[in-house]
Structure 1
Amino acid sequence: MFSGSITALATPFANGRFAESEFRALIDWQIEEGSSGLVPCGTTGEAATMSIAEHNHVLGVCVDQAAGRVPVIAGCGSNDTSVALQHMHAARDAGADAALLVPPYYNRPSQEGVFRHFEVLARDGGLPIVLYNVPARTVTDIAVETMARIKRAFPDVIVGVKDATGVLSRVSAQRALCGEEFAQLSGNDDTALAFMAMGGVGCISVTANVAPKLCAAFQAACAAGDYATALASQDRLYPLHCALFSDASPGPVKYALARVRPGFPDELRLPMTSPSAQSRQLVDEALAAAGLV
């Protein structure tokens, strides 16, 4: 259902408010440059700083602007199962193609609690689900066995995973227990090459915000089995992958977007702050190395 370079969209803000026109323009550019899907209201989209109403409005704007040209996987995660369900219903009603869902963060549920959380969302949410496993942020890991249990319970609803564990061996383990049709999407740009070689089908990419055409070409080379071309793309993009996380994300991402798309607002919401001078320098150098400025 989902493959290729899928952009984890940054959300533009201006004077503290959602900058809708800039967001719509970003979406058009992403599609024109070859991105194969869009993820609004994820980590890079600063969903954690949005009200429920604002979150759901941004989801609706993304679906509306994409207009069926590429699939939209709506960020719907919450540490409150009922709030995640509200987001899923709003995304479903807006016409999103799937929901991206983290396990509950902060609460630190057991694996049984993780399963029960996703059981409710799969049963009542009304959308296909892409699991999002990012224990560095959530503290809670979706164990491979739990992932397989969720997949077995709802085989037509649980369609894939965004794996940001950084543990490449999990690609093989998840492939063995969840099946070849289970869409494994890398959550880390810097290791996406190895992830793809081990059976991944795409990447939910931060770097694609800034370099959508290059990221799409990289994914196309991987899909074609042309790993020599993919490696050359990896070498070109690797400094940028690193630079975009040289300070708290999405600060460097928004700074980079303002460089490649003059006029894009680089405003962040607290507690996120602008990247340091050193981080900005690393981004500048990486953009130049990639031929983007």
Structure 2
Amino acid sequence: MLEKYAHVFPAMVTPMNEDGSFNYEVAKKHADWMMDNGIGGIGVLMAAGEYQSMSLEEHMEYVNIMVPYIKQRGASVIVGCSRERVEDACALMNNAYKAGADAAMVLPSFYYNQSQEEIIDHYTYLNDNSDLDIMVYNNPNVTSGITRETMKELYKLPHVKIVKDASMVIDVMTDFIFEAEQAEEEKNVLCGCDYLLYQAYATGAVGWISMTANILPKLSADFHNAMIIEKDYQKGLEIYKKLYPVVNMTERYPAPTQAVKHILTEVIGFDEGICRRPRREISAEDKAMVVEWSQIKELAKTNKM
């Protein structure tokens, strides 16, 4: 097991002021709170962090401030570095490497339906042009899906260390886990679908890229520890059942970033601010609905404040 990646990594939302600028004070407080509640890794500028709505320069600025801040607390950091142009993704990776990040999470290019050979070329370019570890991100809902045979080839790249599977299909994740176990070098898989986390860990995933951990860090960390450290799957199942209202909401509600920011602001107490275009603020009715759906007011009591 690659221990620095065997963590829950909250896909951290990015606090923003009314003018769209970054609110670093809130970002640091939120990160501190999650780590104080047992979180051992942070995901910076993943999809929940609205990286798609940022320029390359803004991305680099945020990484250069937040990655060293988190690293000095002893947590691992994975930075979302996906871009349509592989050269841009590589530039973001190299900046994250200099800032001290442990790995980059990178999708295949979007929009264009890549062949499996083109996906291999994409990650080979990243492998050959950056010294940063790579987390291959399989999400066929937003770009070309990665087959088991292709993942077997990607595992041969020395900088490919981990995979995030967000296919929402447990047998796909299981295929990637089994291929990782057959790889010549150590490779690991992290769950990328919140409501499949128990099944993923029970099958062999070593960590979790999590929207839920933004708002329930202690319970998320407790689940991970039960499954990975204690090997107590019954305890893990009971914690998973407690988490389920939130993991169900974060995966099935169509605007999860807005929902998480609203809950953090109104229930937890962090002023996360606005979301950038094209995201719009959700309605008052939806705000009330996601709070009720997630049962967060009661579950939030499990966090240390």
TM class, shorter-length? over 0.9
With 275-284 and 247-256 compared, the bigger mean Cα shift is at 275-284
| Counterpart-to-counterpart distance in 2, 1:133 and 1:202 | 15
| Counterpart-to-counterpart distance in 2, 1:257 and 1:151 | 37
| Counterpart-to-counterpart distance in 1, 2:211 and 2:112 | 26
Shift of 1:278: 4.0
| Counterpart-to-counterpart distance in 1, 2:162 and 2:270 | 36
Q: Give the partner amino acid of 1:105.
A: F
Could you tell me whether the CA contact under 8 Å between 2:67 and 2:100 is conserved in 1?
yes
For residues 176-201 of structure 1, the C-alpha deviation after alignment (integer angstroms, 9 at most, x for no partner) is: 32326321100111110001001111
2:96 maps to which residue?
A: 91
Q: Give the partner amino acid of 1:233.
A: I
1:1-293 → structure 2 map (5 Å cutoff)? 1=2, 2-15=5-18, 16-68=20-72, 69-138=74-143, 140-152=144-156, 154=157, 156-179=158-181, 181-223=186-228, 224-244=230-250, 245-285=252-292, 286-292=295-301
With 82-91 and 263-272 compared, the bigger mean Cα shift is at 263-272
Q: Please, what TM-score do these two structures have when normalized by structure 2?
A: 0.90
| Counterpart-to-counterpart distance in 1, 2:173 and 2:167 | 10
Could you tell me whether the CA contact under 8 Å between 1:252 and 1:274 is conserved in 2?
no
SS of equivalent residue, structure 2 residue 9: strand
Could you tell me whether the CA contact under 8 Å between 1:73 and 1:100 is conserved in 2?
yes
| Counterpart-to-counterpart distance in 1, 2:111 and 2:87 | 15
Cα RMSD over matched residues? 1.6
Q: Give the partner amino acid of 2:137.
A: Y
Q: Give the partner amino acid of 1:287.
A: I
Q: Which runs of 5+ in 2 are unaligned?
A: none
Could you tell me whether the CA contact under 8 Å between 1:246 and 1:279 is conserved in 2?
no
SS of equivalent residue, structure 1 residue 255: helix
Identical residues among aligned pairs (%): 30
Could you tell me whether the CA contact under 8 Å between 2:267 and 2:297 is conserved in 1?
no
| Counterpart-to-counterpart distance in 1, 2:268 and 2:178 | 42
SS of equivalent residue, structure 1 residue 100: strand
SS of equivalent residue, structure 1 residue 191: helix
